[in-house]
Structure 1
Amino acid sequence: MSNNLNISDRMQVSDARLMECILKKRYEHAKLQKKDYSHVFRPKTRCELTRLTLLFVGIQFTYAAQTAYVTPILLGIGLSHTFMTMIWAISPTLGFFFAPAVASFSDQIRLGWGRRRPVLLGLGAGLIVGLLILPHGKNIGIFLGDADVGAVNQCSVFRWGTLMTVLGMILVDYNVETCNGVARTYFMDICIKDDHPKVLAVAVMIGGLGGFVGYMLGSVDWSQTNIGDLLGSNEATVFAAVVIVVLIGLTATLSSFREVPLPLLEQDELLRPIRRADFEAAKMQREFCISSVSGGNVPIGFEVAKSSGKIIENDDYERPLGIKLFFTNLIGMPKALRILYFTQFLSHLGYLSYCLYFTDFVGREIFFGDVTAAEDSIEFESYNEGVRFGCMGMAVFILSSSVYSVIFERVIQKFRAKPVYITGLLLNGAGMLATAIIKQKFSIFICCFTMGIKYTTICSLPFLLISEYHTKNSFEMVGGRYVPCTQNRGFGADVSTLSSMLFLAQIITSLAIGSIIDAIGATTIVIYSASLFSCLAAISATRIVFLNL
């Protein structure tokens, strides 16, 4: 009897050790394939995660250029705030309806190159085309026959320059946001579950560094340099740099790790991601071995599994969703997802109120400039100085986000996800309110710092929660137990729907804020609204199902 107990003690392998054994078995199996897929089942080094997520440097560079220059570009070609914000609504409207469908389509792609990378390549190409058009829309219009006049009354008649500028903006905005969601899905597909917090943190960190450089580029007066003279303007110089960075980031990410093709995933269960059902079955098998050696009872669940010949089988493997099933699941999504999506929607309302109009706010309300004034006037120069100063503030925003992302995983481990989520949103609400009231140069850095905290939070935690939901195949807990989900939900589709909350928020912001600004005659309202929506998001976050994260 004592000998049996010793054997039993030796076989009491911890859950962590058991997971290592499962990963090792799949790692060795994946290594024997015609193409080596073993990297999917091993931890990644920091350098590997950096290369994998390098596309985010290009994405954040694009955001920096958008934030700093798109609003001045649109106002500079003669659009009113009302009409400009209606233009802003076009691409998010397309994105809200089509981005989740694109992600669902990526779940079904059967190419040997994988599922996510072909989509990322197409989105990246569209993004680069938009970046090349956007800053040169006016010049393209002149080439096509527009009269070379100033900004006044440019919208009174059809102008090619306006059309090309808007087309470039739509291509940039739609592709960069859709790319954002698909890229995150690709990152988590390639990494083991323990690496999910790390890869998302690294993406925010290096993206933040890229955004910091992008905003600093926007704060430089390139018109006084040889490069600016050669390319024609500040906008053209910055967007040229963005194109180069996007090309480098896209190439690095797409060539980092190969994906397991969908046909292989369907044929070989040992190449699939490890789900909760796999782990529970392995634990059951371990308990059976212990019981057999010690003379105990065989677990009932194992007898059922054994009799059906399914000792370790991934019954809950997420097979690709058809479009009809995708929309059915979208309508009947679990309550936990509805709350998470709504919280993300409110968070993005606050973020976009700040992001889309911040440099315009600084130029008008703090530096008392006017973008529609004559180019040689003091008001016009003051506005441009304010835009450059606003770029410095946004550089602080993205740098603080990057720094916070380095310690974000440890912060969650120490304080748990729920307090971290709510505190990050409330802190930003307070910072925005202080800036709207004070309206001094130093207050810009306060609100930008708190926005960095919020940005890391909303770009990491919601995606970790979806990963947690899918790994455990559960969206709620009852009595401390996970309730299994009976829906066949696509991981890529759920991640992309979360990303699409940015599109929905941009639609609302675009249709409402511009008219309010024109009616009030001041852009301070955008800072107040950023504060309000961050606080509302914090209230909504109290209802999120965090499982054990």
Structure 2
Amino acid sequence: MAHGEVELSVGVGGGGGGAGGAMEAPVRISIGRLVLAGMVAGGVQYGWALQLSLLTPYVQTLGLSHALTSFMWLCGPIAGLVVQPCVGLYSDKCTSRWGRRRPFILTGCVLICLAVVIVGFSADIGAALGDSKEECSLYHGPRWHAAIVYVLGFWLLDFSNNTVQGPARALMADLSGQHGPSAANSIFCSWMALGNILGYSSGSTNNWHKWFPFLRTRACCEACANLKGAFLVAVLFLSFCLAITLVFAKEVPYKAIAPLPTKANGQVEVEPTGPLAVFKGFKNLPAGMPSVLLVTGLTWLSWFPFILYDTDWMGREIYHGDPKGNPNEVTAFNDGVRAGAFGLLLNSIVLGFSSFLIEPLCKRLGPRVVWVSSNILVCIAMAATCIISWWSMKDFHGYVQHAITASKDIKAVCLVLFAFLGVPLAILYSVPFAVTAQLAANKGGGQGLCTGVLNIAIVIPQVIIAVGAGPWDELFGKGNIPAFGVASGFALIGGIAGVFLLPKISRRQFRAVSTGGH
């Protein structure tokens, strides 16, 4: 997911959506073929990891201020709210001879490749459209043509990612066969973890401009050339993963057989699609679901500032760089961004191992205790980022660019913090969805719709942070400390709310939903 990527799975899965339909019984699939069928998740997540680690710092070199960069990330929540439900419902009813999911996966991956090229070459495109012709190492002013091209490519990239994510996960459920959806989901998440590890490793590398010197141009200096090289490799890797998935995911074409529903007067009843189906589901929520939505929203309010600014924080507060400063400050900022990408690599490794422990913990302690504990851990971690930043700057009132150089001890502590956050992140990616599944099972169904409504509680906090974090930080000195401080407060509030509001799900009930025995 993405981390990244929060998935809205409305109507996707084994059924036919609301249209009614049938598929021939699928052939039994080997576990090896099922693994290869999910490989596209790794390719998509590779590019998403690069996007998270490199793009917030990079866009500031094109002229957008630190405060404005947060607005750029509004496309993620918007895409999650609009694109995924529509694509999910349309793929449910797709009658293509290539299958229900693969046409959407192919289209989305092609658009991802196009968007990645636009983002990577935005500086060169901007120069061709009229930006400054000065050497990029000497000119640090705004490059508005490049910034506009970049933002358009960035939005296309986010919408394309969301086009692939829903059908790709639904494809794994469709093909799971005798192995079951739990095994399919584990395989999918494993590919995502591998994509994260490879992507963050690529983002932390400073040698792309050396390996491919032709990528460096007058408009594109070392940091830009490194970004360009990493993204071109992402295109090749995604293309390879896509080809493997298309070959090994042999879908059985879907055939609609049921008549369309009609009203009493004989007119065809038009079913709501896309976001309308999600909003209509609010009136049918199971008991306890409003509390889950509230705690989920508070939890994401505590997480998204770090997701948005983690590598920028390393470049500014820890390495004391400035993407628009003198050459030494630019170099320091880029070093910090790469260190942050390495921290995210450690985070992904810990997340991968931790994900195997979440289900046993929930069975032993109960999901409410595990969820509340993760919020407390995030509260401590976000407060720690503020303390570490102050420690690094050595001045309560100083601006980031005026701080003295941080020690190696501080940098090491930051990497430990990145790794530590992999544990609560694993909880965030699993427990809220497990609780939602149990509540839906208690009601007798509607799990997909409940998950779709849960996604709204995830994307709305992202919009709030994307709109407010930049101006909030600008008000207090153009750094990231204020947003992280507010994140710590939201984590604490979310933990307290979870203690009193989250529905109590017994360990026996959680064991039942985990194994599919509703």
Give the counterpart of 1:37 among 26, 30, 53. Answer: 26
CA distance in 1 between counterparts of 2:89 and 2:149 reads 30
Q: Does 1:154 align with 2:175?
A: no
Give the secondary-structure state (helix, strand or coil) at the position aligned to 1:111.
coil
Match of 2:315 in 1: 363
Match of 1:62 in 2: 47
CA distance in 1 between counterparts of 2:310 and 2:358 reads 26
Q: Which moved more, 1:251-260 or 1:401-410?
A: 251-260
Q: Does 1:242 align with 2:234?
A: yes
Task: Give the direction of change, closer, same or farther, for the CA distance of 1:214–1:144 in structure 2 (3 Å limit).
Answer: same
Match of 2:368 in 1: 418
Q: CA deviation at 1:339?
A: 3.7
CA distance in 2 between counterparts of 1:500 and 1:186 reads 23
Match of 1:402 in 2: 352
Q: Are 2:472 and 2:483, in contact at CA under 8 Å, matched by a contact in 1?
A: no
Q: CA deviation at 1:320?
A: 11
Task: Give the direction of change, closer, same or farther, for the CA distance of 1:230–1:160 in structure 2 (3 Å limit).
Answer: closer
Match of 1:436 in 2: 386
Q: CA deviation at 1:264?
A: 6.1
CA distance in 2 between counterparts of 1:113 and 1:192 reads 19
Match of 1:73 in 2: 58
CA distance in 2 between counterparts of 1:399 and 1:198 reads 20
Q: Are 2:78 and 2:459, in contact at CA under 8 Å, matched by a contact in 1?
A: yes
Q: CA deviation at 1:263?
A: 2.7
Give the secondary-structure state (helix, strand or coil) at the position aligned to 2:151.
helix
Give CA-to-partner distance per residue, 1:41-76, whole Å, 9 cap, x none.
x8x63x445323322222321222112211122100
CA distance in 2 between counterparts of 1:59 and 1:243 reads 9
Q: Does 1:520 align with 2:480?
A: no
Give the counterpart of 1:117 among 102, 106, 110. Answer: 102
Q: Does 1:187 align with 2:141?
A: no
Give the counterpart of 1:326 among 267, 274, 277. Answer: 277
Give the counterpart of 2:154 among 144, 169, 191. Answer: 169
CA distance in 1 between counterparts of 2:190 and 2:197 reads 10
CA distance in 2 between counterparts of 1:467 and 1:320 reads 28
| Equivalences for residues 459-538 of structure 1 within 5 A | 459-468=429-438, 472=441, 474-475=442-443, 484=444, 489=446, 491=448, 494-499=450-455, 501-521=457-477, 522-538=479-495
Task: Give the direction of change, closer, same or farther, for the CA distance of 1:529–1:201 in structure 2 (3 Å limit).
Answer: farther
Give CA-to-partner distance per residue, 1:72-125, whole Å, 9 cap, x none.
221000111222222322453344234323323333333343333333222222
Work out the percentage of aligned pairs sharing the same amino acid: 23
Give CA-to-partner distance per residue, 1:322-379, whole Å, 9 cap, x none.
32971552442405444444443333333321122111111111111111113xx221
Of the two, which has the highest radius of gyration? Answer: 1
| Equivalences for residues 354-393 of structure 1 within 5 A | 354-374=306-326, 377-393=327-343
Q: Are 2:318 and 2:336, in contact at CA under 8 Å, matched by a contact in 1?
A: yes
CA distance in 1 between counterparts of 2:122 and 2:167 reads 28
Amino acid at match of 2:226: N
CA distance in 2 between counterparts of 1:243 and 1:541 reads 42
CA distance in 2 between counterparts of 1:193 and 1:457 reads 27
Q: Are 1:78 and 1:154, in contact at CA under 8 Å, matched by a contact in 2?
A: yes
| Equivalences for residues 192-271 of structure 1 within 5 A | 195-222=180-207, 225-230=210-215, 233-263=225-255
CA distance in 2 between counterparts of 1:121 and 1:217 reads 24
Amino acid at match of 2:353: V
Task: Give the direction of change, closer, same or farther, for the CA distance of 1:534–1:34 in structure 2 (3 Å limit).
Answer: closer
Q: Are 2:209 and 2:216, in contact at CA under 8 Å, matched by a contact in 1?
A: no
Q: Are 2:67 and 2:471, in contact at CA under 8 Å, matched by a contact in 1?
A: yes
Give the secondary-structure state (helix, strand or coil) at the position aligned to 1:77.
coil
Amino acid at match of 2:489: L
CA distance in 2 between counterparts of 1:510 and 1:437 reads 23
Q: CA deviation at 1:466?
A: 4.7
Q: CA RMSD in A?
A: 3.3
Q: Are 2:108 and 2:163, in contact at CA under 8 Å, matched by a contact in 1?
A: yes
Q: Which runs of 5+ in 1 are unaligned?
A: 1-32, 268-318, 476-483
Q: Write 1 or 2 for the structure with the bigger share of helix.
A: 1
Task: Give the direction of change, closer, same or farther, for the CA distance of 1:189–1:343 in structure 2 (3 Å limit).
Answer: farther
TM superposition score normalised by structure 2? 0.75
Q: Which runs of 5+ in 2 are unaligned?
A: 1-21, 218-224, 260-268, 390-409, 511-518
Match of 1:102 in 2: 87
Match of 2:124 in 1: 139
Give the secondary-structure state (helix, strand or coil) at the position aligned to 2:212.
helix
Provide runs of 4+ in structure 1 moved above 6 Å.
none
Q: Are 2:23 and 2:254, in contact at CA under 8 Å, matched by a contact in 1?
A: no
Q: How many residues align?
A: 443
Give the secondary-structure state (helix, strand or coil) at the position aligned to 1:323.
coil
CA distance in 2 between counterparts of 1:535 and 1:207 reads 29
Give the secondary-structure state (helix, strand or coil) at the position aligned to 1:225.
helix
Match of 1:445 in 2: 415
CA distance in 1 between counterparts of 2:64 and 2:314 reads 19
